[in-house]
Amino acid sequence: MLFDQRTRHALRDAGLSAAELRDVEREVTREARATADEVSSFFDERESVYSDMDQTHSNETYPAHDVDYCDLFTHSQDVRGFLRFDSWGVYVEGARVLDDDIVELELGPTVHDRVRFATTRDALE
């Protein structure tokens, strides 16, 4: 269920029927799945990507990351999963596609930040 009970009640008071609420929830779920698929494809199609992540062990402004795999799933409107690079990995807690060359992920523990990943360093400038 996308909306909590208080929100559902307010939306019904505003005129939405139970069927309309279900339709909205289904559409949001479909959009989340499409985003997860797009982001997964972004990483699956590349051997390496660049990010705007601040890394203490790198002097690069936009460090390169060799992609091992990206495993995302959805829970209602949330996109979650795990992104694995050659020597480290991180939980993904949110995702959005900015354009064909850039995706933005909310990374979990150890990073705790929104990070953009791109096909080239130039795309991040």
| CA 53/CA 41 separation, integer angstroms | 21
Domain that holds residue 23: 5-124
**CATH number, domain containing residue 102:** 2.70.180
0.85 surpassed by pTM:
yes
pLDDT tens digits for 9-68?
Answer: 999 999 999 999 999 999 999 999 999 999 999 999 999 999 999 766 667 889 999 999
- Number of helices (H) and strands (E) in the chain: give both, helices first: 2, 6
Number of domains, the chain = 1
DSSP-derived 3-state class of residue 98: strand
